[in-house]
Amino acid sequence: MNETEQKIVTGARACLLAEGHTRTSVKRIAEYAGVNHGLIHHYFGSKEQLIIELIEQFQCAIKTRMPAPHGAPDRSFPPVWHLFREDSNDRLLLEFLALATESPRIAEKLREVVQSRRSYLQAMFGLTPEQSATLASVIIGSLIHQQLDADFPMETVVRQVLDSFQPPASA
């Protein structure tokens, strides 16, 4: 991915966050990216494909910055939770969700992302598959509640679920 392509993906991210999915047009993305709008189709073929690339990077960015699971899992404090919220990643995920309902390919890409997150949570905290599914659910669910209602106690909710899990086998 050359410099221009990267500028476009970054512009798409910025536009999505600043304008929302309904106002994220190809031309507007090009403005945020500082490139000519024609280049978006030149490099990505379609707006849909650009979004898919953006989701790909979204997933990589989280993977890269996540602490690798090591030693005894620490459930007392959820650094992962903050990771998910870093850099407006939570807002972005909600926009992806909105875009996914209009494109099966985006939906599929997003499915990969959430599955990957579950796997990561599972390894990170030494959880069963069901526990990681529960944790992933509560994270997304509380994000949505918080989006609608700024007073929603996101952190309390996530901690509550984390605390409910049995101590890890390695303890």
Partner DNA sequence: AATGAATGAGCGTTCATTCAT
Partner DNA sequence: CATGAATGAACGCTCATTCAT
Positions that interact with DNA (CB under 7 A):
2, 4, 22-28, 35-43, 45-48
Q: Which candidate, 87, 83, 84, 93, places its Cα nearest to that of 51?
A: 93
* Comparison of 24 and 131: residue with beta carbon closer to DNA: 24
Query: Looking up tokens 């997304």, which residue turns up?
Result: 140
Given its own copies, DNA, none, residue 160, with its beta carbon under 5 to 8 Å by kind, binds: its own copies
The site partner of 122 among its own copies, DNA, none (C-beta below 5 to 8 Å per kind) is: none
- Give the three-class secondary structure for 37: coil
Write out the two tokens for 82: 């903050």
Whether the Cβ atoms of residue 106 and residue 100 lie closer than 8 Å to each other: yes
The C-alpha atoms of residue 97 and residue 102 are separated, in whole angstroms, by: 9
| Site membership for its own copies, residue 66 (CB under 8 A) | no
Give the integer Cα–Cα distance in Å for 21 and 101. Answer: 12
DSSP state of 122: H
Q: Which is nearer to its own copies, 64 or 101 (CB)?
A: 101
Tell me if 25 contacts its own copies by CB under 8 A.
no
- Nearest 5°: the CA angle 19, 22, 23 is 45
Nearer to DNA, 5 or 90 (CB): 5
Is the Cβ of residue 50 or residue 139 nearer to DNA in the bound state? 50
The residues binding its own copies (CB under 8 A) are 20-23, 94-95, 97-98, 100-102, 107, 110-111, 114-115, 129-131, 133-134, 136-142, 144-145, 148-149, 152-153, 156-157, 160-161, 164
